[in-house]
Structure 1
Amino acid sequence: MDQSAIDKLANEAFVHVVDLPPPEREAYLTDRCTPAVRERVRSLLARHEAHADWLTTRPLDLPPAALLADTAAVIGDEPSLVGTTLDHFTITRRIGEGGMSVVYLAEDTKLERPVALKILRQGFGFSEVAIARFRREAMTVAQLHHPAIVPVYDVGHTQGVHYLVMEFIDGPTLAGVIDACRRDTPHHAQEREWQRTQASLIAEIADALEHAHRAEVIHRDIKPNNIMIDPSGTARLTDFGIARNRRFDRMTRTGQLAGTVAYMSPEQARGLRREIDHRTDVYSLGATLYELLTLRCPFEGDSVEDVREQVVHKPPRPLSQVNPAIPRDLQTICLKALDKDPDHRYQTASQVASDLRSWLDDRPILARPPGVARRVRQWTRDHRGPVAVASILFLLALVAALAIGLQTLARAGLTPVAFGTTLPDAMLWVQPLDAVRGTPTGPPIVRAVGPRTRVRLDAGLYLFRAEAGRQRLEAIRYVPTAEDRFDFREEIDRRDEPFVVALDRGPHAVDRTRMVQIAGGVFTTSSHPFATEPITIRMPPFWIDKTEVTNGAYKAFVDATDHPLPYHWRNEEPGLVYDPALAERPVVGVTLDDAAAYAAWAGKRLPTEWEWEYAMRQPGDRLYPWSTPPDWVVAPPPPAPRRGGAQIEWSNLLAAYAAATVDAGDDRGVATPLGILHANTNVSEITASVETEGALVSVVRGGSFRGVPAETPLTRRHTFRWGTSSVHRGFRCVATFR
């Protein structure tokens, strides 16, 4: 293999492993690379780590020219493009660089304006992954429109060079501002005017981050180098090169360590991908504010690993100990953003901006310093040695007591629950419900200011609610025990993961013209198989969909959210793919979790089985939708599909589904008097209700194309195993409005 081929393979491998923790990185190199490629990648990694060390331990007194020279020595020589022309951009000078790219000032000869050209380094121009990441940055920024975010004008490829065209900001970065102040006028950091200016700049960046977070973009590399000050004095956020974009990001891997360590959140530094959300940007923003106010990073050390250990395990030194002139409320804001625990930080970037502007306006802030209990925990964690030795007997006794308590909790079957919403500044509620009736058994047991909270709950049925102003999102979900947490579709054991309830609403409003309003009343039913006497339930008013959720509507949901596709849309077997010709048919092949996720996105929820039955039997407590059945509902069902081995083949089931179902909006004479369609035809419908006698199962109501409608009363119910799906099960949604 010649050297050019080795270099190409090494660059490709470098892009794959650069963000992995060392053990995973070494395993990849050992398994996937030849010795020659492996050695070349290790050489690139060594240079990259040296560059990272330089970023983290930036000398305090080195002038910018020396810093730039030091960077070039670490990264290696890159052929200069100054004086060349790419398409209609004439490059005039080099203005910055990073690990994988170089930034030039250029003249746009068509529009006669200066622009910044971000050029992918030559060594990565043959790496498909590096190119895809480079283009992803452009796609991410293109969907963001905020005055504090530097826009991308264009993306291109010419003469073997990949480039992004961005607005040119003729001003310094915050890192440059900090270096200049540290070097020339360190006393400015003690002046109130400096503190007010920096607080205002960070509030502007917090606004930009809030905009990005609402577009499901997490920056993941907030630091002074990525914040510029334009000629008007406005802060501008740039460099979304390692941002995570939920809408089309497929390139983030478990265990990834991306960002600059000195400004990383603890969850980033530990490589805990599942725990990284928009609050990681809040932490990094706090680290940036800390450095602006004290002229020092929250954590400094001799190496990347030293700084990483401090980020994960050590609290930052109080700002007032570094700069006694820092006002108490400003210190409180900064340290709350820097809390190790994401649940104790500001929960949104807008909350950071709000408190900073309150401080600027001499109004009370919402943040409060940690309580005594949290300070004690932090102190005992950071003061080991003689104090720990003197306390060891007490601690052993305490650990024993805690162990007994944890065993008690385990026996009680408490399940960790992660509950969140996309509604900004929402109030979160969790209320226990009677598992059979679906009605409240008491007041809410959890109240929290959103958008996220984590709780431990007994297994049972709960109402989860998020409220913000006049907006309300709800879900009725059964919280299972750890033993019930198995994903049968993906064959994944989820017992060690929190049960997730996400009220993530889409951008559209609920169309009530497609729903039917159901008046409240008292409802008595004998449908429950384990009830020894009729069940009487007082029903509040609610709304229910006229039709089942269609394939087209569900396709829009998965396209917008990247939710997993139904099994039969995955194209893993011939014919198993989404069929646009069936867009108006009811969606099938979804699990209870799938249905609940769609309902939340649609601004609705799944009905309990009693809400479903109560709505379908109105008015008059009828057993069938019709007064006189149409001829077709008494016909026998289509013949059962052929069996392939022990199971019916999905392709055969889908053929029967396509032949026997009708469009969800097709009346065919089977609407209830209130106008609800297909209560006992087309597909049976998943509800939020479950049965816990024996194995955990979900309750389905109504009939399907596999039965005879005339023989399927509205009291029909059956069950299916938690986490499974079927070709004859769909769902519809309900909603309650304020």
Structure 2
Amino acid sequence: MAQNWDEKAVFLAALGLAAKDRDAFLLGACPDEPARQRIRLLLDHHEKNATTGFNPEADSAPIGLADPNQIDEFRLIHKIGEGGMGVVYLAEDTILARRVALKIIGSHLLGSEQGVARFRDEARAAALLNHPAIVPVFKYGSDGTRHYIASEFVDGPTLSTVLEEERSRRQGMTRTDALSWFKRCVEIAATIADALDASHRMNIIHRDVKPSNILVDRHRGPRLTDFGVAKNLTVSPERPVTNIVGSCHYMSPEQASISAASVDQRSDIFSLGVVLYEMLTLQKPFVGADLSQVLRAVIEHNPPTVRSLDPRIPRDLQVICHKAIEKHPRDRYQSIAHLAADLRCFMAGDPILARPPDLTQRILRWLKRHKKAVVLICIAVLAFATLWMRHRLKLQHDLAMAWVSISAGSAPCKAYFQPHSLTTLEPLSDYTAIGPTPVQNLKLKAGQYRILVVRDSDRAFCEFNLVALEAGPDHLAFIRAFDSANEIKSPAERNELRGAFRHTRDIAQGEMIRIEGGDFELRTSNSQHPVLLGAVRLDSFLIDVTEVSNRDYRAFVDATGHPPPYSWTAFGYSPELEDRPVVWVSLADAEAYARWRGKRLPTLWEWQAAARGPKGDLYPTGAQLPDVPAQTLNQNLFGDQLAIFQSYAEHTMSTGVPSAWDGVSGRLRHTFSNVCEFTGTVDLANRDVYLTGRGWYEDPRTRTLANVLTTPLKQPTPRFGFRCAKSILKN
């Protein structure tokens, strides 16, 4: 760090800080404690001079000199300025009889080799240059104790003073006056650009272009001075300039950065652009409460456009100004000569070469300048996109699902569901817990399910065969379990399934039979599925001994207001047929009755197991069909509804009367003599329901218990009836 340490740069930076902030700054900026002590002495000396005013003996000469107002051939007249490294006097060259500006190194730097070397480098840099707009150096010397630089005396104020005067008279300025001022600004900037071009051609970077280093000669125009922190690139080209050097409001981003950013001639272009900005708007483009905030503004922030501060500024002049103060050197003018050329094109009314950055460039530059913000924005956008996508996928998923809500009686209850296989039509697994009721908006894949609602207090339960075909919340299925059938006093609403709790111990003796669970060989067939299934494993269950009669179904209709079967409205309710199996009902009608009774419809395999036994007999009487006469069917049974009803009345028998076909003891009645029966098993692909058993209208020689039929889900039929089943809960 000692090799690259720049004493003057550190002093100037510390000078811009509040006194309370200086020690912390010097701790990191100086290589060692002696260096920090020298900077503190410089600061003390500067503040002392600001308080006491001009005193040649105190400011520039050691005590005891014979004539403190004379240095070699130069006689000091009066003090005209002061900087961090020394004091400037108006002096008279007694040999050549001319007035000069004599800059004398401060006595506080006489003990610093680096300070003296920097002072000498300033003289050498200026002496190498020969341009009308650069204040020339006449001599560098020392009278043995005091080092000095003699340069041309410029009779005129600094540009800083000119700007202060302009600020005081800016209010109320006419458009003509403003345009005249803008023209003068361009002339000053173009002249200083020419001076810097001459400097750059000699490989010297000024590094401290600012209004106070531009003198406005009353006779010769603006002049560039003070090469105190200039850098001669030919002296040490192998080492890039990496110190913070210059005045903070005017330094380039690469100067302001503490990273090892190389500084070249384009840094002076930026500083002159800042000076032009301040001349046009009378405002500094980069400001802050302290040094660190100013440097951060220089590095990270873009100032307002000059036309946003004063719309009278010509557009081309805005383009030139902002081209010069681009953050990255590659985006600025690549030489000060190009800047000077554009300024003169503007003055001549010719087209300028610079163009404002297009939208893509502005976006890319903004992204580079705000990398952290961009990263945070990208993370936020990615997170939002992820959440949005998840929301969309969830929404699409939910819209493709069947929606179910479950409510139960007043006592605490728990709900469960059990899916059925779409291929084997069997229950796939044991019940899966849903949770306590009520359950809102349960989402299930399309399919067939059994919903089980169990009352905690007595283990009474209600079962629902749910055919979930319609997706989305518009087709929400409402499942309601009532404490008893007496509470169901009105027909169910659309998409509503109502059922009553019932315990298996409440089943009347002889009403149902228990089928023990186990393995059953139940191959079945129909025209669409020649072999539906082979071996089946079933849990134990209860099933009605006989079909549901008209008498049973009428009690349901009277209690709930459910619509009666078509035959009752078309042909009247006949008391003579009260004990015959109810027909002309749909699957939904049969399920509604079963739930009202605290039951459900049996699955295809439960019905088959109960009717055929473990070995899968084909007939109620066993494996073989006994000798029976052929049955001739009335062909009108499949077209004439009255004929069908009359045939039903003639050939069916009371559900309570045993049939010659009942066969094996302990099995179901009327599985092969009265009606085909609905099961709770559905062919989802075709939206059909499976039926099994033999009806009165079929020839027994062409039917077996293994034959199954299908009919549309919602279509009532005059030839089909049903019986109910009920599960046996596991402990």
Alignment TM-score, normalising by the size of structure 2: 0.45
Larger radius of gyration: 2
